[in-house]
Chains A and B, each alone.
Chain A
Amino acid sequence: MKQYRAHLLVCAGTGCVSCGSFEIKAALEQEIARRKLQDEVLIIATGCNGFCERGPILMVQPDGVFYQRLKVEDIPFLVEEHLLKGRPVKKLMYVPPAEREPVPKMKDIDFFKLQRLIVLRNRGRIDPEKVDEYIAYDGYAALAKALTEMTPEGIVAEVTAAGLRGRGGAGFLTGRKWALCRAEKTTPKYLICNGDEGDPGAFMDRSVLEADPHAVLEGMVIGARAIGAEKGFVYIRNEYPLALKRVDLAIRQARDYGLLGKNILGTGFDFDLEIFRGAGAFVSGEETALMASVEGQRAFPRQRPPFPIQKGLWGKPTTINNVETWANVPSIIRRGAAWFASLGTETSKGTKIFSLVGKINNTGLVEVPMGISLREIVHGIGGGIPGGRDFKAVQIGGPSGGCIPKDLLDLPIDYESLTKAGAMMGSGGMIVMDEDTCMVDIALYFLRFTQEESCGKCVPCRIGTRQMAQVLARITAGAGTEEDLTKLEELAVTVKRGSLCGLGQTAPNPVLSTLRYFRSEYLAHIVDKTCPARVCKNLIAYYIEPEKCVGCLLCLKNCPVNAISGERKKVHTIDQALCIKCGACFNVCPAKVQAVAKYTGDEKRALSPAAAPRKEPS
């Protein structure tokens, strides 16, 4: 193998790609060639590093220097300084919020420091399109072990002993699921990898499939051996083109290497995989709906039992696990159940990937040991809230999850504690909210989402979510009554208890958890007709504070409905009757002026023309 003095690891996860990492890679190649360094420096496109906020990302090895937010025009300078003159470029390094000195090395950056990588162990260090690189980092060693040294029962026992639980939502014990499926007499049996990631703001499955597709494949082949399946499907939504491409490539490479297909590793074991492209309905992530979709039917969930392990795909026993679950399997087999079980809490073992989004400094994908506190994630890894705002809550588990408020920041994260707190692990979406987030509005947002994504099959989910969304819309519009809260709770129970599948059964969670922790905010909307976070349009007003306004005409020019009057160097005023509360004036008013203010409730009424006669322009 050829030796290079430096490896340039360009992040080619979807986040960085959309920030232009392919252009960065091209610029690097061009510059390296121009400097005739191609025999000394190797450029590699890796999977997602997780720190998507900072893309495009470049790692220089062996120095371990982390460059971020690169632009094509930075490249010649970077190559000259770092690779020719050996001087790392400070201005392209990461500077933690509220600090001035950059942190040059990835291992010293808080975002990476506090993580524990099992599933994402290969992220940022291998080219996911090259099976050799995966193998170089112990890839397929677990498969070899499973096929040559272990019995199928032994594999099941190992996974069971590890305490691995499904990473897709409900957290069912994976080993137990496999054992039940293995015990079924009917053949053939099928295996499915559920990659229909649909939660708003969640992208961990995509990242795993993009960064380390072979880990998922290896996990599935091991699982196939354990339950006795000959055929599997990787269900990936069509909105993930890069994941589709890389998994497709990985399947072909694995077949070429005898790691998939007939007579795997010469052991006589046959198993093959096929990709199924999902058309992007949220409900397809529900396992029975997903199987209907693979069968070519409309993605309708069906009543369980029978469970997929009894009657799954085409009525045959089927084990369906989430991407992250499958990707955990090789490490468990390679390093043993005891090692895996040593991580995490009593009931939740190993690590969990969370996608950290919303009002947080370090947006990205993080893998943390179970049992870590929310505070460590939000303020440690996440680097806190931008703009000096205060943390308010975090929505965990997407539209099926719930909000966890500030008081519970020290909650150790595992399946049980989250459920108890009214949220759920779900697939691991974490949406951080600051004090400018209205919790009623957030509940409405999620309800609208589940309402739109309801498959329409069962009544409580299809109509109940619609009714709930209507009540919430009424409250955010300032037309709610206290009775509405009772109605909301009644509807929530109906939807939760009456719905057919997980989508409906969990759809009320955002409402129930916000009602539980932020009831006062609901009451503020209903009783005081105020929106404390100043979000709900009907309850707020924009007002130009005369003493601050410098009369720059900026807001006046940007107002889409010409509601602002005024002249240069004279105080501007907003005609409340015309204002549509788009917030354009608020956003364009220069930061050092900040003359446009948002008011709510009584403050607003005080501003109505009747209550506070406007100064007539002289």
Chain B
Amino acid sequence: MKITIDGREIEVQGPAYLLEAARSHGVAIPSLCDHPQLEPFGGCRMCLVEVKGRRGFVPACSTLVEDGLEVLTATEELKVLRRRVLELILTEHPNACLVCAEKKSCDEAKATIRKTEEPTGCVLCPRNKHCDLQDVVDLVGLDGVKLPSIYRNLELRRDDPFIDRDYNMCILCGRCVRVCAEVRGAAVLTFINRGPKAIVGAALDRTLAASGCQFCGACVDACPTAALAERATRPELRPDATRRLICALCSQGCTLEAGLRAGRIVATPPAPGGPVNHGQACVRGRFVIRDLVHGSGRLAKPFVRQDGHAEEAGWDEALDRAAAGLEKYRGAETALLLSNDLTLEDAYVSLTFGRDVLRTANVAFSVLPTLEATLDEIRAARDWAPDPGFDLDEVGEARTIFALGADLPVTHPMVWLQVVKALRRGARLITAATGPEIMCGLAEVDIQVRPGRELAFLGRLVGLVLEGTKERTEAGFGELRKSLAGFLKANAKESGISKETLARAAKALTENGPAVILAGPNLCAGPDRTDKVAAVVDLALLSGARFIPLAAAADEQGLAELARRLGLRPTSAAEILNGVRKKEIKAVYAAGTSLSFAGDERPEVLILQAGRRVESADGADVILPAALFPETGGSLVNAEGRLQTMESAIPPAGEARPGWKILSALAGRLNAQGFDFADAAGIRDAIGRVWPGFGSGRPEFASRQAGARPRFIPLASGRKASRTERGRPFLLAVTANADLSAGTDLSRISRGFRAVRDSRFMTLNPADAGKLKLKDGDQIEAASAFGAVLGVVRISALVPPGVVAMRLIPTESVSVRLLSEGAAPVALRRRD
């Protein structure tokens, strides 16, 4: 298409709005409410232009380019109108910083540290110098506000974690409202009131937390002024440098832009062009990293156990002690416990240390088997399993999405953004949930499954789709069909889901074009995990849907693959704990774990490598302070199978060292060869020697079987679901909590995060809470046959009566046992 802008002819491709077309050709049109990721709004009226043949002025942001448009962007009349509209905006917004005669010289003259948290003047505004309003004032060339100011005198809202809201700065551009609804699918923020009282807020002006906000921070990043600001950075000066980070706090690998000041991370907003997150983040990456790295509780020095106490020590002493401890045992008596978010560089050194130095097969990345491991099991047993890798865009382009085993907005927010994108394009969402999954709110078919009855539900759904399927040529189809009768007999009344609901789900899945099944890590809870995953795989095969497994931790796939390449078959930490309990395993080297090794789970020798003080530290013989991912940098493979590498952003805290350096040094003390790596790049070369193609964005996986023929897996009849019993009237449904970094519970290190998602939250139905006279925040204890776990009450109608849902972090045997059961009858008691 050809259009003329101010007499200049330009060529525009595809459907585009006038504003972006003009800007891409260097025509500067001011705007405030426009945002590249959002639908046009047309509220600020700064981008008004004249289009020949159209009545009045039109906003360039919401006018689609048509062939032959003649546009004028800078007539005298438009300039005057823009100045006047901008002046109107400034009557409501503090404007001393914008039109002050001294504004050019003020930086040198008035530079100050913001001692108060309240912006009291121009230079104290947290957005000073990177404020869209300032830019627009400069662009429009406004030099004064003649109209009287109207100070709205609104209260500064500080009643939420992480985010301060000062609506006196708000220009009602609605970017926050729209990003919340359009991009995040949350719709927590909205416009409230009318006329001069119109403002942004949560419905009924409640707090964000009370309105279901997950504190992704997208609103803060979308705000053009200082109306929304990150509380922690408000009193600070602007960062003096930025570094690219790959977030290692979950399996998605968002690109963040760490802002540094004096070598410290002050903020970690999303980088604008991240391939995974496209300028978005979640509460963990956006708000927790700063506390994780710089908050209290960092281990900055090695410790050794002396007379039952941990005493500070030098590196030499600590490494000597560790070497001495490990020297006593070798082979099967030793075990290596690693965390699932280890960088590949650390992992390579750790795994070769386990293989070549400890010479043990007892290597575990996670406490309980992961989806990846479960698929490996299926692959081993049936000669085929679907490939794990995928592309996030596949989700965004799907027509039907079936999500289960995760609460995407919480556990996989970037996957969720793609779901939201698909929904906005008219896709249909089916969800199956056992707990308070907030993603159900946008689902067309929302299936609530009783804890422990997931397999019964999945089997029936498979059966229903099978009914409408003609003969299939893939192997195992006959077997699957045969297994169905037995399954239905064994699970006649087990699923508790109505036939209509199942039929709706089956119909949506098979009749609406390309479908994806997002299988989350919660499928791995319970002893029937393999059967459940197999049923989902069958469902995908039958309905022609793409099976997409969603890993839980930052490097789950990369670590599994690295282990394969090194000829190792990792086990689970639960197995290793068993070995310790049976005294078969005597020495454990743990690099980042949530386990506490209390009581008879304490091995003879326990060497702990950790970035932060953890519970297990009390029992450790040696504690070695490890650098955290922003300090080490390194490579991670995300849930998609995408390899991303980052440089270190800041130096390690105190004497902390990267994990690979620690183990290399230890290997040296144990007289092992081949651990003389100079830097992380050297390790990457070494990885490349065992993993062909390593280094590219999408490395090859040995697990992928090119050309392998898919096959159906017969349904397992499953087992009886857990039921409540006398004295234990509630069913505790547990899923693994992935809010961890190297074994550290994020809700223990960030008060704000604790308010949003405490790992101790036990969610129960309002009716149950009423009966037990419990309210939000009460401390309770859930006593099961295996022991008790402590929790904090959260009331939500999303949990059915009689069920208590908990996202549990495995720390000791009770929690490990509960997680492997998936659901257990419990009694609830208040703890005062």
The complex places the Cα of A499 from the Cα of B48 at a distance, in Å, of 10
A371 to chain B minimum Cβ distance, whole angstroms, is: 26
A485 at interface (Cβ–Cβ under 8 A)? Answer: no
Select B91's contact among A451, A463, A497, A505, beta carbons within 8 Å. Answer: A463
Q: A451-B195, A455-B194, A462-B196 are in contact. Are A500 and B43 (CB under 8 A)?
A: yes
* Contact B174 A457, beta carbon cutoff 8 Å: yes
What does the 1/0 interface line of B84-97 toward A look like (CB < 8 Å)? 11001101100000
The 9 A-B pairs at the shortest CB distance, nearest first, are namely: A456-B198, A303-B42, A463-B88, A303-B62, A452-B195, A494-B84, A457-B43, A454-B195, A498-B45
Near B by CB (< 8 A), chain A positions 462-507 give: 462-464, 466-467, 470, 487, 490-491, 493-494, 497-500, 505
* Interface size band for A: 20 to 34
* Contact A460 B88, beta carbon cutoff 8 Å: yes
* Contact B85 A459, beta carbon cutoff 8 Å: yes
* Contact A490 B84, beta carbon cutoff 8 Å: yes
* Contact B58 A303, beta carbon cutoff 8 Å: yes
* Contact A453 B42, beta carbon cutoff 8 Å: no
The complex places the Cα of A490 from the Cα of B83 at a distance, in Å, of 12
Near A by CB (< 8 A), chain B positions 34-86 give: 40-45, 48, 56-59, 62-63, 81, 84-85
On chain A, the residues within 8 Å of B172 by CB distance are 456-457, 459, 462
B190 at interface (Cβ–Cβ under 8 A)? Answer: yes
What does the 1/0 interface line of B439-467 toward A look like (CB < 8 Å)? 00000000000000000000000000000
A458 at interface (Cβ–Cβ under 8 A)? Answer: yes
On chain A, the residues within 8 Å of B48 by CB distance are 498
Chain A interface helix/strand/loop/mixed? helix
* Contact A298 B190, beta carbon cutoff 8 Å: yes
What does the 1/0 interface line of B144-164 toward A look like (CB < 8 Å)? 000110100000000000000
* Contact A300 B191, beta carbon cutoff 8 Å: yes
Other than A462-B172, A498-B84, give 9 A-B pairs with Cβ distance below 8 A.
A302-B42, A303-B58, A452-B194, A453-B195, A459-B171, A460-B45, A463-B150, A470-B150, A498-B48
* Contact B195 A462, beta carbon cutoff 8 Å: yes
Near A by CB (< 8 A), chain B positions 163-204 give: 171-172, 174, 190-191, 193-196, 198-199
Near B by CB (< 8 A), chain A positions 410-468 give: 451-460, 462-464, 466-467
A353 to chain B minimum Cβ distance, whole angstroms, is: 28
Near A by CB (< 8 A), chain B positions 266-322 give: none
Number of residues in B with C-beta < 8 Å to the partner? 34
- Which residues of B pack against A, CB within 8 Å? 40-45, 48, 56-59, 62-63, 81, 84-85, 88-89, 91-92, 147-148, 150, 171-172, 174, 190-191, 193-196, 198-199
* Contact A494 B88, beta carbon cutoff 8 Å: yes
* Contact A498 B81, beta carbon cutoff 8 Å: yes
In the complex, which of the residues B45, B91, B92, B193 has the most CB atoms of chain A within 10 Å of its own CB atom?
B45
On chain B, the residues within 8 Å of A300 by CB distance are 191
On chain A, the residues within 8 Å of B63 by CB distance are 303
On chain A, the residues within 8 Å of B171 by CB distance are 459
The complex places the Cα of A119 from the Cα of B517 at a distance, in Å, of 57
On chain A, the residues within 8 Å of B174 by CB distance are 457
In the complex, which of the residues B41, B56, B88 has the most CB atoms of chain A within 10 Å of its own CB atom?
B88
The complex places the Cα of A453 from the Cα of B197 at a distance, in Å, of 10
The complex places the Cα of A263 from the Cα of B452 at a distance, in Å, of 50
Q: A458-B43, A463-B91 are in contact. Are A494 and B81 (CB under 8 A)?
A: yes
The complex places the Cα of A302 from the Cα of B174 at a distance, in Å, of 13
What does the 1/0 interface line of A269-313 toward B look like (CB < 8 Å)? 000000000000101000000000000001010110000000000
The residue of chain B having its C-beta at the shortest distance from the C-beta of A469 within the complex is B196
The complex places the Cα of A256 from the Cα of B56 at a distance, in Å, of 48
* Contact A303 B40, beta carbon cutoff 8 Å: yes
On chain A, the residues within 8 Å of B91 by CB distance are 463, 467
* Contact B85 A494, beta carbon cutoff 8 Å: yes
B565 to chain A minimum Cβ distance, whole angstroms, is: 51
* Contact B196 A466, beta carbon cutoff 8 Å: yes
A611 to chain B minimum Cβ distance, whole angstroms, is: 33
Select B89's contact among A459, A491, A505, beta carbons within 8 Å. Answer: A459
Select B198's contact among A302, A455, A460, beta carbons within 8 Å. Answer: A455
On chain B, the residues within 8 Å of A467 by CB distance are 88, 91, 147-148, 150
The complex places the Cα of A493 from the Cα of B41 at a distance, in Å, of 22
Number of cross-chain contacts by CB at 8 Å: 96
On chain B, the residues within 8 Å of A463 by CB distance are 88-89, 91-92, 150
On chain B, the residues within 8 Å of A490 by CB distance are 84
The residue of chain B having its C-beta at the shortest distance from the C-beta of A306 within the complex is B64
The complex places the Cα of A321 from the Cα of B244 at a distance, in Å, of 55
* Contact A497 B56, beta carbon cutoff 8 Å: yes
On chain B, the residues within 8 Å of A454 by CB distance are 194-196, 198
* Contact B196 A452, beta carbon cutoff 8 Å: yes
B188 to chain A minimum Cβ distance, whole angstroms, is: 14
Select B42's contact among A281, A458, A470, A491, beta carbons within 8 Å. Answer: A458
On chain B, the residues within 8 Å of A498 by CB distance are 45, 48, 57, 81, 84-85
Select B195's contact among A303, A456, A497, beta carbons within 8 Å. Answer: A456
Select A462's contact among B56, B81, B148, B198, beta carbons within 8 Å. Answer: B198
Select A459's contact among B44, B148, B150, B194, beta carbons within 8 Å. Answer: B44
Q: A457-B174, A467-B88, A470-B148 are in contact. Are A281 and B194 (CB under 8 A)?
A: yes
25 of the cross-chain contacts (CB-CB < 8 Å) are A298-B190, A300-B191, A302-B42, A303-B59, A451-B195, A451-B196, A452-B194, A453-B194, A454-B195, A456-B172, A456-B194, A456-B198, A457-B43, A457-B174, A458-B44, A459-B44, A459-B45, A460-B45, A460-B88, A463-B92, A467-B88, A470-B150, A498-B45, A498-B48, A498-B84
The complex places the Cα of A281 from the Cα of B195 at a distance, in Å, of 11
In the complex, which of the residues A300, A456, A493 has the most CB atoms of chain B within 10 Å of its own CB atom?
A456
B171 to chain A minimum Cβ distance, whole angstroms, is: 8
The residue of chain A having its C-beta at the shortest distance from the C-beta of B39 within the complex is A302
The residue of chain B having its C-beta at the shortest distance from the C-beta of A495 within the complex is B88
The complex places the Cα of A462 from the Cα of B44 at a distance, in Å, of 10
* Contact B85 A500, beta carbon cutoff 8 Å: no
The complex places the Cα of A490 from the Cα of B193 at a distance, in Å, of 27
On chain A, the residues within 8 Å of B59 by CB distance are 303, 500
The residue of chain A having its C-beta at the shortest distance from the C-beta of B148 within the complex is A470
A29 to chain B minimum Cβ distance, whole angstroms, is: 45
The complex places the Cα of A498 from the Cα of B85 at a distance, in Å, of 8
On chain B, the residues within 8 Å of A458 by CB distance are 42-45
On chain A, the residues within 8 Å of B85 by CB distance are 459-460, 494, 498
